[in-house]
Amino acid sequence: MLKKTIQVFDPKSTTVVNTTKVIKTNEEWKKELDEETYRITREKGTESPWTGKYTDFEGKGWFYCSSCKLYLFDANTKYHSGCGWPSFYDVISNKNVYTKEDNSIKGRPRVEVLCKQCDAHLGHVFKDGPKQTGLRYCINSKCIDFEEKEEQEEEEIEKEEKN
């Protein structure tokens, strides 16, 4: 199988890095993911509102793709939108996600959010978010996991952001 190199943003080093696109068959994904995560990430499903482990979660760190571990969202951009799913007003980088038109519900066009490294369906983005970006990334908890920032990492990142 041909390997494809892509560029993504690494929040720990605050640089763009090369990585290999994750390409697997449905059978391979079924072996790696639990049934619900497979249904959501590979079949473009959704979890019921207010049921996800990250809906009301608060912490300092990064949310990453539960399928391939690519960093997607900084916890600093998470907010309580009241929609029933974890909401973020921005992504870590447009290099780590991509969007495409979703017309799967007749008369209700939406914009789907996908992981750039493994093409996992993450959720949808809407133009009703807070003033920082005006966007609300509405993401299924099953599609993401969380990594806490170490205090030292947080201090180093804050220093680099000020420079």
Q: Output the domain CATH number for residue 102.
A: 2.170.150.20
Q: Is residue 77 part of a domain?
A: yes
Burial degree of 157 (CB within 10 A; 0-12, 13-18, 19+): middle
Q: Is residue 104 part of a domain?
A: yes
Give residue 72's domain range. Answer: 5-149
List, by residue number, the catalytic residues: 138
Give the pLDDT confidence score for residue 120 in this predicted structure. 98
Q: Is residue 62 part of a domain?
A: yes
Residue 163 scores a pLDDT above 50:
no
Q: Rounded CA gap, 5 and 58, in Å?
A: 33
Dump pLDDT digits (tens) for 17-47: 999 999 999 999 999 999 999 999 999 999 9
Q: Is residue 156 part of a domain?
A: no
Q: Is residue 60 part of a domain?
A: yes
Tally of domains within the chain? 1
Residue 1 scores a pLDDT above 70:
no
Q: Rounded CA gap, 134 and 81, in Å?
A: 12
Question: Of 70-74, 131-135, 149-153, which gets the smallest average pLDDT?
Answer: 149-153
Q: Is residue 159 part of a domain?
A: no
